């Protein structure tokens, strides 16, 4: 499996940086409940810097993004920050905090609203919607849901998604709801398990809604596309694989006038036609356990697709028909945490190692080869997101850590402990606010200087 050539690597990074330079902004509500999505926000300039001609983003007075769904507005686990962003966490303060009950759902924010899921640890789940600025509860809705006894994880796992049709949520037992972001009224509901015609996975449903045009894509062994306005099923995939907690990634290829869905399960990666659900390509990628929770990281409209799991990581190429491996690496074993593209470090950064293991490390691997660039040993299990040139990590014990990675090191700037364990939930960032959450439902919103 060959490495990237200099030209193809530069092309991949240029396309990825161009993608990062277009951030989704949410315009006023449509009538009743919807959002209008625009891809019009751009950076003032792109500056070449660092080794390998890596591109990073720079320039003007940039507006911070909403974080409307799993892994953010563009699904790359990154958010843009303004020029005055301060990575020193000691300068940040708790703006508000609350408790939403047991679960692992991240907090999402759009148009001044912050939403997440929780449970009473038994048979009831609740969707909460807060005023993002002060934490005032705008509304909540509670419904009955199977607690999935014996799974070892209490409460919902899926993260809500603000869409054009409303706020879409998925329960642990596969119920799908669409709520009005303004009032909390139920717009439509359906059942993923019945749609797919499969048994409820033994650990329940953990995938979050992925957004593709006016549909959400959901995974529980098979996949389905559901219209966000009416809850109508648009397609169901034919192939069935071992169910996982993985949220699919969606991407478009304008030259082919095609939209695609990339879905990782415990046995491999599938690429589906976004308009029909037909499987176009399949690549074997076995997890050490019969489950995975990592979303594929799609770069350059499929020219690079990074996948990782308990057994290692691979970088693949999709040419519209076939998936081919560029490299494989044992230096990056994500168990249930997504990585971050770090141009200044020349690679991909994430947690290498399992949960409950203090020896899990923060590792950077080279984008060209998959070789280890550097590692921060005994960092501990946790989750990472990218914030401009900074990287934010929340480890399992509740420590929040901010760094500014380079080719040589993580570059830790600050850390602070805010929550008790277990913190297995990905932190989020929106409009100058950092959201944290632990498995007991303690939610904290931090605001910077």
Q: What is the pLDDT of residues 314-335, one digit of tens each?
A: 999 999 999 999 999 999 988 8
Residue 282 has pLDDT above 60, yes or no: yes
Alpha carbon distance 354, 361 (integer Å): 9
CB atoms within 10 A of CB 48: 13
DSSP code of 194?
Answer: H
Hey, which residues does 15 pair with through a beta bridge? Answer: none
Q: What are the phi and psi torsion angles at 297 (to 5°)?
A: -100, 110
Tell me which residue of 273, 245, 209 sits closest to 71, measured CA to CA: 209
Tell me which residue of 426, 444, 420 sits closest to 100, measured CA to CA: 444
Residue 21 has pLDDT above 80, yes or no: no
Alpha carbon distance 369, 331 (integer Å): 11
Residue 33 has pLDDT above 90, yes or no: no
Residue 36 has pLDDT above 70, yes or no: no
Residues 6 or more apart in contact with residue 161 via CB below 8 angstroms: 68, 69, 70, 108, 167, 168, 169, 208, 209, 210, 211, 216
Hey, which residues does 188 pair with through a beta bridge? Answer: 178
Tell which CATH architecture fits domain 6-447: 8 Propeller (2.140)
Cα angle 288, 294, 300 (rounded to 5 degrees) comes to 125
Residue 53 has pLDDT above 80, yes or no: no
Tell me which residue of 395, 390, 449 sits closest to 79, measured CA to CA: 390
Band the pLDDT of 50: cuts 50, 70, 90: very low
Alpha carbon distance 198, 259 (integer Å): 26
pLDDT tens-digit profile of 151-183? 667 899 999 999 999 999 999 999 999 999 999
Predicted TM-score (pTM) of this structure: 0.87
């Amino acid at each position: 499996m060959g490495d990237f050539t200099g030209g193809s690597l530069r092309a991949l990074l240029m396309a990825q940086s161009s993608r990062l330079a277009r951030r989704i902004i949410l315009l006023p509500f449509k009538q009743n409940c919807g959002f209008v999505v625009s891809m019009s926000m751009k950076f003032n300039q792109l500056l070449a810097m660092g080794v390998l001609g890596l591109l990073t983003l720079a320039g003007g007075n940039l507006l911070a993004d909403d974080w409307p769904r799993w892994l953010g507005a563009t699904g790359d686990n990154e958010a843009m920050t303004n020029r005055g962003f301060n990575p020193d966490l000691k300068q940040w303060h708790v703006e508000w905090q609350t408790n939403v009950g047991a679960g692992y759902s991240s907090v999402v924010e759009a148009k001044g609203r912050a939403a997440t899921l929780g449970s009473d640890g038994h048979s009831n789940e609740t969707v909460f919607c807060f005023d993002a600025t002060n934490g005032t509860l705008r509304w909540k809705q509670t419904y009955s849901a199977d607690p999935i006894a014996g799974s070892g994880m209490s409460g919902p796992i899926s993260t809500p998604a603000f869409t054009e049709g409303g706020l879409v949520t998925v329960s642990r037992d596969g119920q799908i709801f669409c709520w009005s972001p303004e009032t909390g009224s139920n717009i439509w509901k359906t059942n993923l398990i019945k749609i797919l015609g499969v048994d409820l996975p033994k650990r329940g449903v953990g995938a979050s809604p992925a957004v593709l045009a006016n549909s959400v894509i959901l995974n529980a062994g098979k996949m389905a596309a559901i219209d966000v306005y009416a809850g109508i099923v648009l397609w169901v995939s034919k192939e069935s694989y071992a169910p996982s907690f993985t949220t699919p990634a969606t991407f478009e290829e304008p030259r082919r006038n095609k939209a695609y869905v990339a879905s990782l399960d415990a046995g491999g990666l599938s690429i589906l036609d976004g308009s029909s659900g037909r499987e176009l390509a399949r690549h074997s990628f076995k997890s050490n356990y019969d489950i995975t929770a990592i979303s594929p990281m799609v770069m350059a409209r499929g020219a690079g697709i990074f996948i990782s799991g308990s057994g290692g990581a691979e970088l693949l190429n999709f040419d519209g028909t076939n998936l081919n491996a560029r490299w494989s690496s044992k230096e990056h074993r994500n168990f249930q945490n997504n990585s971050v593209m770090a141009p200044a470090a020349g690679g991909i950064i994430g947690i290498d190692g399992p949960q409950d293991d203090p020896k899990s490390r923060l590792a950077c691997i080279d984008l060209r080869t998959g070789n280890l660039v550097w590692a921060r040993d005994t960092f501990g299990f946790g989750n990472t997101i990218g914030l401009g040139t900074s990287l934010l990590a929340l480890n399992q014990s509740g420590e929040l850590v901010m760094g500014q990675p380079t080719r040589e090191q993580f570059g830790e700037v600050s850390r602070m402990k805010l929550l008790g364990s277990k913190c297995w939930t990905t932190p989020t960032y929106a409009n100058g606010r950092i959201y944290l959450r632990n498995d007991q439902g303690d939610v904290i919103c931090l605001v910077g200087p």
